[in-house]
Amino acid sequence: MRGSKMVGCAIVVALAATACGGSGGDSESKGSSGGGFSMNIAEPKRLVPQSTTESGGSQVLSGLFTPLVDFDAKNQPVLAAAESIESPDNKVWTVKLKDATWHDGKPVTAKDYVGAWNWGAYGPNAADGNYFFGTIQGYDEMNPVDPDGEEGPKKAEEPKAKELSGLKVIDDKTFEITLKAPFAGYKSVLGYTVFYPMPESALTDLKAYEEAPIGQGPFQMDGKWNHDKFVKVKAYPDYKLGEKPKVDSVEFRIFQDQNTAYNDLLANNLDIVDQIPTEVMGTAPGELGDRFKTSQASTFQFVAFPTYDKKYSDARVRKAISMAIDRDEIIKVVFQDSQSSARSFVSPVVGGYREDTCGEACKFDPAAAKKLLAEAGGIEGNKINIGHNADGGHEQWINATCDQLKKNLGLDCVSQAVPKFAELLTQVENKKFSGMFRMGWIMDYPSMENYLGPLYSTGGSSNYYGYSNKDFDRLLQEGREAKTEAEAIQKWQAAEDILAKDMPVIPLRFGKNVFGHSTNVKNVEMNLFNQVELTKVEKS
């Protein structure tokens, strides 16, 4: 029996070891440590600028890097890392850089920008931000498509080029971008995460680089990215590209669940929560007092009509459905005022936004809605459905919307859940989904064009419902090629007016940043990209 005794002992030892093995207290317990603060993020997918499009990674990188342009209070681009961004014809853009150094002391050069962008644009690298480079000349040569579709036996061919022909290094501090087509608002595009540079050394071993990215921004890494736990950064002493941070350090704590982060905020263990969970929206203003904050965000939620579904082919039917929805009530009851009603086709955060462009069609008027539907001859089968992805938490508001439609139009309305958004899109693309479906959009750069193009132009990247209008496309393109911003906006507004007539989608809600902070910090602001402005935060 000696053997079995030993087994018993081994178990006891193992248990003791695991239960007593603390993690060695590798971080401060309190939210504020010395001159720093902490905030919550979700585990970043990657920390490579060209491959970071989700909020957790972007938030960290916004501290480590300075973009070429930033945005002022009116969401107009202002130069940040760039000395100047000029173009005679809006097609060839010359970018001059300010003097700056990487966190390891080496100077930032034009090569660092061009190299990083080329890496991002090269298809086989599968960078998440790849499509942002699609407007630059030479992108297509780097991103061949599968000749016979995904299902076919033929493999996609090798890319013909490894570098964007539209990117040229002029000298150490200057490079040139040639676009496929003129675009007056291109300066605004360059404010996004994927246009950050990377030091040349990064490209030789990206895996090693992203564990502790070297940037040229106000903060530098403090230690390595501790996966699923935290990322720490500290102020970079030689920062010259803009405002220096008012704190010594920031700890990005990785949370799985917003509710937990919120509880940590209540206990003053965490300084900033960038999103108050909907569950506590009712109690949070009371619990946080003036530390409960909201600001305008770029999110746009709407319901789309697939053009292949004949049920909704009459614009009067689409307008009637829109008029029968009481947006304000849903926002109050379901969202506890954490969003605002949408009655336009572009978000209020972009230049050229006008209130109520949707006009009558977005005003809640059940009587008129009923009349209009009757004029259009009602709806086939007297039954409609609204599709959504079950993992997105949309059930509640869709049910509320359905209840309103039942009550106000006398229709039968069903919410149809598909497990995941990807599946919903696949069904729509294969014309298998019948009915309306929900959609959401977050902008990439603050311009009307970034709503109009992807969402409503023929073949737009997120135009899954197949809306197509030649006049709209023409006006959109004319706006892109306009000489001045003012002229561009005029064209785009004319394009938006077409949408109000056609009603390809029902605008429902614009998002807000709803955030909160502890008693340790003040001046907490969030920008359009749903990010906390790290350099503005002060200790209180």
Partner 1 sequence: MGRYVARRLLQMLPVIIGTTFLVFALVTAMGGDPVQNLYGERPVPESIRVALTAQYHLDDPLPIRYGYYLAGLVQGDFGTSLSGSRPISEMIADAWPETLRIAGIAFVFEMIIGVAAGVMAGMRRGKFLDNLVLLSTLTVIAVPIFVLGQVSQIFLGVKAGIFPVSGTNEGFVSYLLPGLVLGSVSLAYIARLARASVAENLRMDYVRTAKAKGLSPSRITGIHVLRNSLIPVVTYLGADLGTLMGGAIVTERIFNIPGVGYNLFKAIQIEDGPALVGFVTLLVIVYVVMALVVDLLYAVLDPRIRYA
Q: Identify whether the C-beta of residue 349 lies closer than 8 Å to the C-beta of residue 297.
A: yes
CB 64 to partner 1: min, Å:
17
E-strand ranges in 14-127 read 36-41, 69-71, 77-79, 82-86, 92-97
Stretch that binds partner 1, among 6-14, 82-90, 107-115, 233-241 (CB under 8 A): 6-14
Identify which of residues 403 and 423 has a Cβ nearer to partner 1 in the complex: 423
Interface positions, 167-186, toward partner 1 (CB under 8 A): none
Binding mask 16-55 for partner 1 (x = CB under 8 A): --xxxxxxxxxxxx-------------xxxx------xx-
Of the candidates 156, 169, 376, 390, which one interacts with partner 1 according to CB under 8 A? Answer: 156
Of the candidates 94, 101, 135, 144, which one interacts with partner 1 according to CB under 8 A? Answer: 144
Number of residues that bind partner 1 (CB under 8 A): 74
Q: Identify whether the C-beta of residue 198 lies closer than 8 Å to the C-beta of residue 120.
A: no
CB 441 to partner 1: min, Å:
8
- How distant, in Å, are the alpha carbons of 92, 177, 480, 502 from that of 180? 9, 10, 12, 30
Identify which of residues 368 and 442 has a Cβ nearer to partner 1 in the complex: 442
Q: Torsion-angle region of residue 411: left (phi > 0), alpha (psi -120 to 50) or beta? A: beta
Interface positions, 194-233, toward partner 1 (CB under 8 A): 227-230
CB 428 to partner 1: min, Å:
12
Which three-class secondary structure state does DSSP give residue 503? coil
CB 389 to partner 1: min, Å:
8
CA-based nearest residue to 279, from 301, 262, 266: 262
Of the candidates 72, 150, 158, 171, which one interacts with partner 1 according to CB under 8 A? Answer: 150
Identify which of residues 206 and 373 has a Cβ nearer to partner 1 in the complex: 206
Q: Which amino acid is at 493?
A: Q
Of the candidates 172, 243, 403, 423, which one interacts with partner 1 according to CB under 8 A? Answer: 423
Secondary structure tally for the chain: helices H, strands E: 16, 19
Identify which of residues 121 and 524 has a Cβ nearer to partner 1 in the complex: 121
CA-based nearest residue to 512, from 351, 266, 301: 301
Q: Which one-letter DSSP state was computed for residue 108? A: P
Of the candidates 135, 426, 468, 490, which one interacts with partner 1 according to CB under 8 A? Answer: 426
**d(Cα 22, Cα 487) in Å, to the nearest integer?**
63
Where do we find the tokens 């007056």? 184
Identify which of residues 255 and 353 has a Cβ nearer to partner 1 in the complex: 255
Query: DSSP of 406-420, one letter per residue?
Result: HHHH--EEEEEEES-
Binding mask 437-476 for partner 1 (x = CB under 8 A): --xx-------------x------xx--------------
Of the candidates 13, 267, 333, 367, which one interacts with partner 1 according to CB under 8 A? Answer: 267
Stretch that binds partner 1, among 258-266, 310-318, 481-489, 526-534 (CB under 8 A): 258-266
Binding mask 402-421 for partner 1 (x = CB under 8 A): -----------------xxx
Interface positions, 269-288, toward partner 1 (CB under 8 A): 269
Q: Identify whether the C-beta of residue 167 lies closer than 8 Å to the C-beta of residue 118.
A: yes
**d(Cα 329, Cα 115) in Å, to the nearest integer?**
51
**d(Cα 316, Cα 501) in Å, to the nearest integer?**
10
Interface positions, 479-518, toward partner 1 (CB under 8 A): none
CA-based nearest residue to 93, from 77, 73, 74: 77
Of the candidates 83, 89, 257, 375, which one interacts with partner 1 according to CB under 8 A? Answer: 257
Interface positions, 112-131, toward partner 1 (CB under 8 A): 123-128, 130-131
